[in-house]
Amino acid sequence: MTLEHLDVVIVGAGLSGICAAYYLQTRCPARRYALLEARDALGGTWDLFRYPGVRSDSDMHTLGFSFRPWREPTTIADGAAILRYLRETAAAYGIDHQIRYGQRVRRASWSSDTALWTLDVEHVPTGAVMQRTCAFLLVCGGYYDYSAGHMPEWPGLEQYQGRLIHPQQWPAGFDYSGKRVTVIGSGATAVTLAPALAERAAHVTIVQRSPSYVVAAPAQDRDARWLHEHLPAGLGYPLARWRSIVLGWLFYRLARQRPQATRQEMLQAVRHELGPEYDIETHFAPRYDPWDERLCVARDGDLFAAIRAGRVSVVTEQIAAFTEHGIRLASGQELVAEVVVAATGLRIMLLGGIELVVDGNTVDLATTLIYKGMMYSDVPNLASVFGYINMSWTLKCELIAGCVCRLLNYMQRHGYDVCLPRPAADVRAVAPLLELRSGYVRRAEYRMPRQGARDPWRMHQNYWRDLLNLRFGRLDDGVMAFGRGGFRR
């Protein structure tokens, strides 16, 4: 039974969904919309992740929204503060009243005859399936599987007598006080977890196959605070935001243009933190160039402080097997661990696992090309949000949300029901969606859309280029096809 028709359905009530809802309300006020959220709370990642020390690596002047200033002094904020900000934002603009909780979109079927999506929506608490129709589908459910993270199959795991935890499923109220903890992983989660765990654990050991770049960053940005305190409210926050955007972009460009010089500067900074006797080359000198993978941030240098204090140690070696009491390394050394935290990454799942069907044919995303970083070749009236890997996620969220609103308004002005990115015959897939070497990306590459050789079939990691293309670029660009279906409202 069809319960209702909506102009736009937003899937997901996390940071991206709240952002999209704000733009729809303000730029397309006549459009009826709703956010369908599978969980029972808003916040997405920031409500899901509950592990000790969870926080963002992006500063809140750019992770926060341009339309709602971040007022707290800490700019590298913890998860609880970010979640509070998202809840307050949703309430301030009435977005919280548009969220339908416990509703997971399982299948989306497009009909060219009616120019509508029909959504099969599971009511999660009961398992019942209902249907909704919409003219445009905007998927803001992130890029990874919320049900579980990546867990390698280590030999001997069945004999381990301690507690094995993935950070994505951190148990509520778990007490690790006085315990010996081993964190497996070298990414942002491990860098965040280890110093937080060390505040109560007997000792924390990070075990990594290979190191990542780790940079110390202050929790509070003194220059940004000065702007807030000495300039009017309507000027201080925008200036602080643009300052963060420019500095982040300049650092990324420098790292890509002068990778060896940047590498040496970053390693020298670590050497300054840990002293000349520490084996930086083994534990903090990756085999790849800066930004081949994301950088890890140690807030206020907390990881380095914990290492200096002897509360955290780092081991860079392959794991041979689990034992009854811990982990045996390839060298034969055994690490005793009462708790093992597998900070081993995410499982990528695009579009929230929604099965897409267009005119009776199931869409394989791996056969599609990405259009302007937000739509898919030959898939009509659908966009999704995928943020930056080298800057704050929110910057791309706002550009995509704004572009979708431009697109909807253009269609309304010209009487179109359908928009469809259609590649020319000579456009071929030449690159993966994300040109990163990170394990979680490589594991999912075969299931992801591809990039073409030229615009608009490229996934840029360049805010300024996207700003021109998404905010000011032509909508009728010779690639986007517009048309009319049989359905009229």
379-390 pLDDT, tens digit per residue, is 999 999 988 888
Pick the residue with more confidence: 485 or 270? 270
Q: Specify the pTM.
A: 0.94
Mean pLDDT of 229-254: 89
The DSSP bridge pattern shows strands 128-139 and 382-384 to be parallel
- Whether the pLDDT of residue 232 is over 90: the answer is no
- Kindly state the percentage of the chain with pLDDT values over 90: 81
- Contact assessment for residue 304 and residue 270, using Cβ atoms and an 8 Å cutoff: yes
Residue 487 has pLDDT above 50, yes or no: no
Most confident stretch, 133-147, 320-334, 472-486: 320-334
Overall average pLDDT of the 333-356 stretch: 92
Q: What was the pLDDT predicted at 223?
A: 87
Given a cut of 50, is residue 361 above it in pLDDT? yes
Q: What is the pLDDT of residues 252-263, one digit of tens each?
A: 999 999 999 999
Task: For residue range 51-97, list pLDDT tens digits in order.
Answer: 999 999 999 999 999 999 998 989 999 999 999 999 999 999 999 99
Mean pLDDT of 28-35: 97
Closest Cα to residue 102, out of 119, 78, 123, 129? Answer: 123
Percentage, residues of the chain above pLDDT 70: 97
Going along the chain from its start, the domains and CATH numbers come out as 2-146+347-483 (3.50.50.60), 160-342 (3.50.50.60)
**Is residue 488 pLDDT above 50, yes or no?**
no
